[in-house]
């Protein structure tokens, strides 16, 4: 099981069922040893997942709970899709929730004091083609175009630390761009560059 899945538990309905059973067992344990039982139950019960973003191109900020009570919050997902839109075209597309869960797992590990600074979230095919013509390192079939990738930095934390944590999660691709001061993470196959 990947470190990401261990950090988050199992997604969706399986999480609720498994957590219910674990909490039931832990509640029984809590009767015998309250300190041990409630500490373990707290690890299982993640009632909320939240993220905060700063779009470096638009200056917009968002801090919101995107997952609560075992479900993704549709209104928050819409807000996240908007802040992570293609800032060149204004086009908004859904960001894959696995990207959000990956960022949440990174947040849990890193405990940053500031929001994720977003360099690029969703990228339209037109923007992707433009960037390919004028720069290096932009894939023809970039996962940014289907909402499965994000380029970020966390001010106050070294880029190499953020990069190492992303790689340790083994949740997808991780690119390191120290000259441009960001890392790329995606939920495609596991690979590093």
| 20 and 6 within one domain | yes
Length of the chain, in residues: 193
| 52 and 2 within one domain | no
| 55 and 30 within one domain | no
Could you tell me the two tokens for 26? 């832990």
Closest by CA to 155, choosing from 116, 98, 120, is: 116
- The pLDDT-based confidence of 141 (bands split at 50, 70, 90) is confident
Closest by CA to 122, choosing from 81, 183, 152, 175, is: 81
Q: What is the DSSP code (8-state) at residue 145?
A: G
CATH number at residue 181: 3.30.1380.10
- The pLDDT-based confidence of 189 (bands split at 50, 70, 90) is very high
Could you tell me the two tokens for 125? 């095919």
Q: Is 172 left (phi over 0), alpha (psi -120 to 50) or beta?
A: left
In whole angstroms, what is the distance from residue 138 CA to residue 193 CA?
Answer: 13
106-131 pLDDT, tens per residue? 999 999 999 999 999 999 999 988 88
| 119 and 81 within one domain | yes
Number of domains in the chain: 2
| 98 and 23 within one domain | no
Q: Which of 20-24, 85-89, 125-129 has the highest mean pLDDT?
A: 85-89
| 81 and 22 within one domain | no
| 147 and 72 within one domain | yes
pLDDT value at residue 6: 43
Indicate whether 43 pLDDT > 80: no
| 54 and 96 within one domain | yes
| 119 and 58 within one domain | yes
Closest by CA to 166, choosing from 176, 154, 174, is: 174
| 77 and 17 within one domain | no
- Name the phi and psi angles at 72, rounded to 5: -75, 145
pLDDT value at residue 40: 41
| 70 and 90 within one domain | yes
Q: Cα 85 from chain centroid? A: 16
| 59 and 35 within one domain | no
In whole angstroms, what is the distance from residue 87 CA to residue 124 CA?
Answer: 10
Mean pLDDT over residues 158-172, rounded? 98
Arithmetic mean of pLDDT over the chain: 83
């Amino acid at each position: 099981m990947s470190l990401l899945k261990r950090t988050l538990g199992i997604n969706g309905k399986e999480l609720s069922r498994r957590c219910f059973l674990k909490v039931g067992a832990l509640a029984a344990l809590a009767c015998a040893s309250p300190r041990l039982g409630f500490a373990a139950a707290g690890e299982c019960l993640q009632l909320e997942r939240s993220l905060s973003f700063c779009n470096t191109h638009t200056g917009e900020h968002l801090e919101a709970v995107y997952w609560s009570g075992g479900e993704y919050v549709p209104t928050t997902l819409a807000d996240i899709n908007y802040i992570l839109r293609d800032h060149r075209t204004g086009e908004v597309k859904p960001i894959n929730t696995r990207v959000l869960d990956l960022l949440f797992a990174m947040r849990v590990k890193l405990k940053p004091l500031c929001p994720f600074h977003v360099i690029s979230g969703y990228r339209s095919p037109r923007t992707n083609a433009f960037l390919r013509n004028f720069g290096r390192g932009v894939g023809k079939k970039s996962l940014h175009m289907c909402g499965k990738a994000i380029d970020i930095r966390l001010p106050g934390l070294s880029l190499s630390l953020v990069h190492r944590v992303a790689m340790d999660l083994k949740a997808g691709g991780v690119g390191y761009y120290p000259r441009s001061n960001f890392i790329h993470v995606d939920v495609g196959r596991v690979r590093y560059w």
